[in-house]
Amino acid sequence: MLERYVTAASTYAHSIDHLFILIAVLGGFWLIAAEGMMFGLIFKFRAKDGRPTRYITGEEPHLKRWISIPHYLIIVCDIVIVAAAVTVWYDIKQVMPPADATVRVIGQQWAWSFQEPGPDGVLDTADDIRTVGEMHVVVNTTYHFELLSRDVVHSFAVPAFRLKQDALPGRTITGWFRPNRVGTYDIQCTQMCGIGHALMAGRIIVETQQDHAAWLLRNSNQAVAERAEQQAPPASGADGPTTMAEVRR
Amino acid sequence: MSTEVQHAEPGFFRKYLWSTDHKIIAMQYLFTGMAMALIGGYFAYVFRMQLGFPNQHVPGYGIVTPGKYNALVTMHGSIMIFWVAMPVLIAAFGNFLIPLMVGCDDMAFPRINRLSYQIFLLSALVLLSSFLVKGGPFGGAWTAYPPLSASGAYNLTPIGATLWLLAVALEFVAFLLGGINFTVTAMNSRAPGMKMYDIPILIWMIILANIVFMASAGPLIAGAVMLLFDQTMSTGFYDPTRGGDPLLWQHLFWFFGHPEVYVVLLPAMGIVAEIIAVFARKKIFGYKTVLYTTWAVGFLSFVVWAHHQFVAGIDPRMANIFSITTLMISIPVTEMVFLYIATLYGGSIHLDTPMLWALAFIAEFMIGGVTGIFLGSSGTDIYLHDTYFLIAHFHYTFVPIAIIAVFAGLTFWYPKMFGRMLNETLGKIHFWGTVIPFNVIFIPLFITGIAGDQRRIYNYAQFAEQSRPWLQHLRTTSTIALLFMLAFQLVFLFNFFWSLRHGKTAGANPWRSTTLEWATLSPPPHGNFAEMPTVYRGPYEYGLAGRADDFLPQNVPDRAVGD
């Protein structure tokens, strides 16, 4: 149902969508039943001349049943929903499957920047690739992310992945995702972060292993240095040991 | 009040602006709340126009810049909750109805009551003054999460942020004073014979709401003081670089913020209970069960706060506990709604305007309740948190509370307040002109939320997925519906002021109701009752067979009835 409105591009997108449908079916059933009962009663007992009102206190067992039995059934539905919700939550937020790669996501007023480990697969080494506003990931690969904020509270959200996690200054929050569909998807900030909040957009590019390797190659230190040499004159006070690749093309 | 004061005819100032009479103070709260509602509604108009027709000149405002947009949504939220729902539902109805419905001459502490309104008015003025300062009003959302709210370098509204915080703190002082007053009055000043289970449900609910408010406000006031220090004295309570923690504020805020939902819900539910009983000519189905569910709601409202923080960076294991408590609170609320619906059974339902509003409250609030389950379930909240699905859900609870139930109460007690009836035709036009557009505003927003629209974005141009044309059509639909809804409020305003002079004279008890406020004149004189009433029975004796009239007021002695 959700997929009609928003693409599903991660492994857990469908478990959230299924939970949504479960709640929609159970909640929808009781909503329609209760609204139908209410409008039915309004119609049936509308004021008519000569029809007396019944004196009912609400203590009569044969009438109380009409409330208590549906209510017990609703409690059963509640338990089903809680069980399903906790299961989905546990799989997404409480446990992390083993990582194929680890990336770092940094929020600041008003941009997302990303740090990807580069060819050696280790963060905080010289060959890391840093990007702003654009994140490249490989399809069918489990990523762990480390989420940081440099200033205020942001929230890292990728609707197509059904991923959302606040970024807090002073903490590193970990999480995971596993994209399973090639494409380009939006990254949002969903926590009010100042006047640039609506500008804090990013793109996440899910690509095949080959495409990703080519992207890595294009943005290796060496390739970037060569490109910089061709563009004269080089900017002074450049980006230090790591590169700002693909950023201001 | 001493007898000398009572005998001297007070001048305009002493009578209307410096009064200790609970009815006048209720009117002060009511009219201040209505004025603030116009301001809050105007803000909604401006930012919805920006969303419906991005970057175009908004008639009556101008161009909406990102900074202004943030300020508008922040002020809309703050005003509607703290300066409309609270003063009208708690203070105006509470002040007007508690002494009348429990059968006493005034509040227990009339001067504290007057002080309460004066501080409230000051708080409103402080808030509005932030529009005049450099940088403009605070734009960091009504939840004011630090570090954004704590530092002018981040929010760019250093003065506005502090004024917002001061205004909220003052508003809390006003309602703490009022809450003490309401509770003491209902405990100590009841008419002779009014036992605990003879108190009308509305009074129970207002008192419980006040107790919940007083018990939950403390942590937020402490949090607000720390935030004020962070803003003005460069302390670091919420600054992680100096050992503080931004999450602390979120816990303190929501420990207040979620009970606050029930603080305004309970009086609304109370108003609806009174009206349904009168217009269905029925005793409330299971009066005591309604009270038990109210207590359960009040208690549980303290243990659900972190469902606002599932994805905020709290320990993920906590989410499971708060998912369970959140679904638990739906159990007593469902029971309460079912009891209201059951009250209709066997009744004789008169669809006058107040009853239309009361029934609309139930119908719409149920949608708000069911959509809340999607957000209370931690799994789906990961996706729906901070989307327009949340906005739509919230407004499906809050518009029934702060708009629909308030109109139910105003149309119902208007004759008692002013001695005249509202025009019924205009009332029905206003009802349909409000309720239909309300649904057309927010149903599209459920869909844009499911499609991923995140909140507090002045323009979705940066987001490819949110720039799909059909999403923009839904936003525009919602905006146009809002224009209709706002336009129909003019009908109400006209009816309200026109009927003050030209309405049909109401008489003491136009709705043939049983509770004590209908036992005195309309409007009630100073001191309320010519002869203080005595209570002989519960509040909802309707539908009595074998009598000329089908109801028995609380204050009519049994021997007069001839039982």
Question: Structural domain boundaries of chain B?
Answer: 18-561
From chain B, the residues in CB contact with A191 under 8 A are 145, 386
| The pLDDT value given to residue A249 | 33
ipTM of the complex: 0.92
Quickly list DSSP for B368-421: HHHHHHHHHSHHHHHHHTTBHHHHHHHHHHHHIIIIIHHHHHHHHHHHHHHSBP
Mean pLDDT of the B485-503 span: 96
Report CB contact under 8 Å: B382, A82. no
- If we measure between CA atoms, which residue out of B399, B414, B396 comes closest to residue B30? B414
**Residue B112 DSSP one-character state:** H
Per DSSP, the three-state class of B537 is: coil
From chain A, the residues in CB contact with B281 under 8 A are 53
- If we measure between CA atoms, which residue out of A110, A136, A244, A248 comes closest to residue A188? A110
Per DSSP, the three-state class of A125 is: coil
> Between A228 and B445, whose confidence is greater?
B445
Tokens of A124: 């905080």
Percent of chain B clearing pLDDT 70 (strictly above):
98
Diameter of chain A measured on Cα atoms = 97
CB-based contact B264:B89 (threshold 8 Å): yes
From A94's Cα to the closest Cα of chain B, the distance in A is: 6
Mean pLDDT of the B532-548 span: 89
What is the bridge-based pairing of β-strands A183-189 and A101-108?
unpaired
Percent of chain B clearing pLDDT 90 (strictly above):
93
pLDDT tens-place string over residues B373-389? 999 999 999 999 999 99
Residue ranges of domains in chain A, CATH in brackets: 2-94 (1.10.287), 101-244 (2.60.40.420)
| The pLDDT value given to residue A243 | 39
From B374's Cα to the closest Cα of chain A, the distance in A is: 7
- If we measure between CA atoms, which residue out of B329, B411, B438 comes closest to residue B376? B329
From B158's Cα to the closest Cα of chain A, the distance in A is: 12
From chain B, the residues in CB contact with A160 under 8 A are 465
From chain A, the residues in CB contact with B72 under 8 A are none
Nearest CB to A190; choose among B282, B343, B454 = B454
Q: Distance (Å, rounded) from C-alpha A245 to C-alpha A131? A: 6
A3: contact with B, CB 8 A cutoff: no
Chain A with chain B: Cβ pairs closer than 8 A? 288
Q: Alpha helices of B306-352 — where are they, by DSSP H?
A: 316-343
pLDDT at B80 over 70: yes
Provide the terminal-to-terminal Cα distance of chain A, rounded to the nearest Å. Answer: 38
- Identify the CATH number of the domain defined by range B18-561: 1.20.210.10
The neighbouring-strand residues paired with A105 are A114, A147
Give all strands (DSSP E) within chain A, no chain letters. Answer: 101-108, 111-116, 129-132, 134-138, 143-149, 154-158, 163-167, 173-177, 183-189, 202-207, 243-244
Indicate the average pLDDT of chain B: 93
| The pLDDT value given to residue B7 | 54
**Alpha-carbon distance values, B405 to B54, B114, B409 (Å):** 33, 25, 6
Strand-by-strand arrangement of the A243-244 sheet: A173-177, A143-149, A101-108, A111-116, A129-132, A243-244
Per DSSP, the three-state class of B237 is: coil
Whether omega before B523 lies within 30 degrees of 0, making that bond cis, reads yes
From B546's Cα to the closest Cα of chain A, the distance in A is: 10
| The pLDDT value given to residue B561 | 60
Backbone angles phi, psi at A149, to 5 degrees: -130, 140
pLDDT at B2 over 60: no
From B417's Cα to the closest Cα of chain A, the distance in A is: 27
Q: Distance (Å, rounded) from C-alpha B450 to C-alpha B389? A: 6
B497 contacts: CB under 8 Å, gap ≥ 6? none
Percent of chain A clearing pLDDT 70 (strictly above):
92
When scoring B254, B311, B357 by the number of chain A Cβ atoms within 10 A, the one with the most, hence best to mutate, is B311
| The pLDDT value given to residue A245 | 40
pLDDT tens-place string over residues B234-283? 999 999 999 899 999 999 999 999 999 999 999 999 999 999 999 999 99
Low-confidence spans in chain A with pLDDT less than 70? 231-249
pLDDT tens-place string over residues B383-438? 999 999 999 999 999 999 999 999 999 999 999 999 999 999 999 999 999 999 99
| The pLDDT value given to residue A234 | 47
From chain B, the residues in CB contact with A34 under 8 A are 337-338, 341, 366
When scoring B345, B359, B550 by the number of chain A Cβ atoms within 10 A, the one with the most, hence best to mutate, is B345
From chain B, the residues in CB contact with A84 under 8 A are 377, 379
